[in-house]
């Protein structure tokens, strides 16, 4: 038997161009593929007829509150939470119980674009840099300094479809779609005017000790307050703000190497002094000699201790890390609520399957009104999420979940670690997720990631000839040619219109 293996090599230039003018793979074909600008324009009339057959439901208020619950809370003009019959509920600004179902990143008119520099040959067509397509170009979109140009082919499709007023029309269309499909509103990463949003606040410009602010420094505390106030104040009285979050996922984790780097700083650094004081008191009962023995150093006074640049044992590093994290999450929560006491604070969307330790999301959850998280799993929840719920006893909210279609690899998209075969399958998985989440006494809603498909060449960052940079998944309710995935959104609509009822039924069954 011949067991020899032949390795094939290929030159992408010999296969180029790989991407057609509409952002689709040139070597793929499927029913509904866009072949001309006329296809895009004909979609307008077809979609209008389909949406007319999917009217928004009068069972819900404009914030997603359920009018047929049989009970109502006081309308405060803001979202809040309450517990009834053992189940947590969001209460809409109009006072109606709400199981929130949203979609992130709508309307995604230009974002996300794909990096072009160094691989222009992959594309059959790229837009002109002036004229009607000028707004479809970007540069260094991720701020990496790689001097990369980005092009948004789906934005070009919007311009072809809607004409000169494409930005406004795409935004209006996104609102009509989400309303017709039963969604409460938007989510993270921006949304269209008139829809509820869950804004993620940034702390750019606030000095960091390493990767996070020195929360022990009064000047840094004031800088953080000013930065957050700058973002919050314009929407402080906005009922369309579901709740504030600061940062997202791994960006908000304090890492062990941050502690080690802080300990190498000058003796005057507030974070260094605070961390050393904490570990000295909590683990060594104030004994400098005991700490010195454990750390392999000699310090007769606290000032002498601050002047050292130690590498402590791992358990001490972890104790300081958790102390720093607790103080960081507490400061952020206290600062946001001082600026805006009316809106909910949703935390920082930690992920119960990501790299963080369990203690991290428990700490973050303690300093939040609603415990937010991002979780991509084959079905709703997991054991760590259930443990977090039981430990904290607070309402929880899923900021991101999704089941992007894989299409058996036939359209050029990547395969996400939790995926669906095709659009109907994705809609079925969404329905199962929504029903299970509605039956969880702690869960008050979730947000599908995301409104529009990512480019099959990737959203970046990146520079050079590779065929894909970054994520390239069919996450969207809408494809790159602005076509709704009707088989998927029909199933989503059914689930959205029933989710609050499912929750009420689950509560009754537990009584």
Whichever domain contains 494, its CATH number is 3.20.20.80
Give, in degrees to the nearest 5, the angle at Cα 367 between 361 and 203: 85
Q: How far apart are CA 342 and CA 244, in angstroms?
A: 11
The percent of residues above 90 in pLDDT, for the chain, comes to 91
Is residue 255 within 8 Å of 325, Cβ to Cβ? no
3-state secondary structure 360-403: HHHHHHHCCCCEEEECCCCCCCCHHHHHHHHHHCCCEEEEEECC
**Per-residue tokens: 68:** 């047929």
Q: How far apart are CA 34 and CA 30, in angstroms?
A: 10
**Per-residue tokens: 294:** 């454990």
**Domain assignment of residue 394, yes or no:** yes
Q: How far apart are CA 368 and CA 337, in angstroms?
A: 10
pLDDT for residue 391 is more than 90: yes
User: What is the rounded average pLDDT of the residues 21-46?
Assistant: 96
* Span 65-80, pLDDT tens digits: 999 999 999 999 999 9
Is the bond preceding residue 107 a cis peptide, omega within 30 degrees? yes
**Domain assignment of residue 52, yes or no:** no
Strand-pair category, 344-345 with 200-201: unpaired
**Domain assignment of residue 4, yes or no:** no
**Considering the entire predicted model, what is its pTM?**
0.94
User: What is the rounded average pLDDT of the residues 450-459?
Assistant: 97
**Domain assignment of residue 18, yes or no:** no
* Span 149-207, pLDDT tens digits: 999 999 999 999 999 999 999 999 999 999 999 999 999 999 999 999 999 999 999 99
**Per-residue tokens: 152:** 């948004």
The pLDDT value given to residue 10: 64
How confident is residue 1, by pLDDT bands cut at 50, 70 and 90?
very low
* Span 398-412, pLDDT tens digits: 999 999 999 999 999
User: What is the rounded average pLDDT of the residues 109-115?
Assistant: 95
pLDDT for residue 367 is more than 50: yes
Number of separate domains in the chain: 1
The pLDDT value given to residue 383: 87
The percent of residues above 70 in pLDDT, for the chain, comes to 97
pLDDT for residue 380 is more than 70: yes
The pLDDT value given to residue 420: 97
Q: How far apart are CA 471 and CA 449, in angstroms?
A: 13
Domain extent, residue 88, equals 61-257+319-510
* Span 302-354, pLDDT tens digits: 999 999 999 999 999 999 999 999 999 999 999 999 999 999 999 999 886 56
112 φ/ψ angles, rounded to the nearest 5 degrees: -100, 140
Q: Is the dihedral of CA 40, 42, 46, 52 positive or negative?
A: positive
**Domain assignment of residue 235, yes or no:** yes
pLDDT for residue 18 is more than 60: yes
pLDDT for residue 87 is more than 50: yes
User: What is the rounded average pLDDT of the residues 8-22?
Assistant: 84
How confident is residue 57, by pLDDT bands cut at 50, 70 and 90?
very high
Among 317, 202, 308, 319, smallest CA distance to 258 is for 317
User: What is the rounded average pLDDT of the residues 240-255?
Assistant: 94
**Domain assignment of residue 299, yes or no:** no
Q: How far apart are CA 202 and CA 414, in angstroms?
A: 29
Q: How far apart are CA 435 and CA 503, in angstroms?
A: 8
Residue-averaged pLDDT of the chain? 95
The pLDDT value given to residue 350: 87
Is residue 129 within 8 Å of 452, Cβ to Cβ? no
**Domain assignment of residue 297, yes or no:** no
**Domain assignment of residue 229, yes or no:** yes
Give the residue, 94 or 383, on which the prediction is more confident: 94
461 φ/ψ angles, rounded to the nearest 5 degrees: -75, 170
Q: How far apart are CA 25 and CA 18, in angstroms?
A: 6
pLDDT for residue 2 is more than 60: no
């Amino acid at each position: 038997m011949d067991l020899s293996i032949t390795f094939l090599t290929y030159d992408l230039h010999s296969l180029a161009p790989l991407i057609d003018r509409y952002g689709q793979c040139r070597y793929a074909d499927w029913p509904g593929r866009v072949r001309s600008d006329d296809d895009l324009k004909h979609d307008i009339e077809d979609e209008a007829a389909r949406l007319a057959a999917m009217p928004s439901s009068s069972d819900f208020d404009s914030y997603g509150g359920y009018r047929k619950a049989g009970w109502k809370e006081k309308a405060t003009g803001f979202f809040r939470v309450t517990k009834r019959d053992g189940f947590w509920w969001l209460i809409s600004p109009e006072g109606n119980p709400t199981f929130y179902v949203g979609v992130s990143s709508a309307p995604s008119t230009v974002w996300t674009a794909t990096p072009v520099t160094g691989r222009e040959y992959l594309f059959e067509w790229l837009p002109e840099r002036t004229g009607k397509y000028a707004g479809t170009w970007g540069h260094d979109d991720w701020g990496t300094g790689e001097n990369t140009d980005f092009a948004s082919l789906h934005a070009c499709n919007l311009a072809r479809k809607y004409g000169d007023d494409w930005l406004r029309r795409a935004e209006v269309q996104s609102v009509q779609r989400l309303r017709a499909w039963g969604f409460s509103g938007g989510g993270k990463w921006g949304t269209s005017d008139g829809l509820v949003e869950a804004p993620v606040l940034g702390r750019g410009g606030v000095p960091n000790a390493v990767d996070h602010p020195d929360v022990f420094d009064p000047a840094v505390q004031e800088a953080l307050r000013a930065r957050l106030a700058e973002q919050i104040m314009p929407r402080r009285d906005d009922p369309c703000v579901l709740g504030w979050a600061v940062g997202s996922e791994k960006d908000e984790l304090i890492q062990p190497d941050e502690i080690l780097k802080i300990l190498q700083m000058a003796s005057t650094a507030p974070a260094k002094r605070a961390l050393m004081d904490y570990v000295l008191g909590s683990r060594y009962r104030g004994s400098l000699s005991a700490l010195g023995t454990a750390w392999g150093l000699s310090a007769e006074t606290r000032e002498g201790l601050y002047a050292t640049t130690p590498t402590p044992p791992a358990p001490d590093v972890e104790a300081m890390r958790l102390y720093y994290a607790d103080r960081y999450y507490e400061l952020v929560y206290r600062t946001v609520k001082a600026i805006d006491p009316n809106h909910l604070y949703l935390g920082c969307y930690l992920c119960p399957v990501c790299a963080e330790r369990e203690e991290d999301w428990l700490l973050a959850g303690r300093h939040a009104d609603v415990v937010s998280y991002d979780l991509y799993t084959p079905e709703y929840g997991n054991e760590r999420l259930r443990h977090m719920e039981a430990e904290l006893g607070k309402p929880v909210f899923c900021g991101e979940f999704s089941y992007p279609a894989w299409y058996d690899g036939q359209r050029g998209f990547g395969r996400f670690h939790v995926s669906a075969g095709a659009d109907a399958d994705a809609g079925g998985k969404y329905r199962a997720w929504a029903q299970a989440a509605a039956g969880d006494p702690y869960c008050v809603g979730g947000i599908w990631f995301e409104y529009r498909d990512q480019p099959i060449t990737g959203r970046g960052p990146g520079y050079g000839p590779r065929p894909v940079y970054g994520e390239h998944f069919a996450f969207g309710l809408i494809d790159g040619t602005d076509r709704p995935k009707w088989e998927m959104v029909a199933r989503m609509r059914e689930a959205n219109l029933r989710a609050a009822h499912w929750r009420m039924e689950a509560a009754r069954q537990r009584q």
